[in-house]
Amino acid sequence: MSTLLAPQRPSGIPDTQRLTSRPPHVSLADRVALHIGLRLVLWSTRTPRLALDREQHSRSYSTQADTIAREHRFARNVLVAPRS
């Protein structure tokens, strides 16, 4: 980096950074876009549940399917059973 091209002050004392006005406010659209972008970044770095343990996922899925089938059979038998 060439410091010869940088603006120089005649006194040689470095100038402090001065803010001439208040910082501009971020518009609502920009804030929404930043919020959505952050959520997308967080979502993309998650570990999918299926990738953690395929065997456990398979067991829980088959257990849930068996439970639902058993409950349906019970409900069907109750509805179809002859009444006394």
pLDDT at 46: 82
Residue 31 confidence (pLDDT) above 60: yes
Between 14 and 70, where is the model more confident? 70
- Alpha-carbon distance of 50 to 47, in angstroms, equals 9
What mean pLDDT do residues 33-52 have?
Answer: 86
Q: Residue 51: its pLDDT value, please?
A: 65
pLDDT at 54: 81
Express the helix, strand and coil content of the chain in percent, nearest 5 each. 55, 0, 45
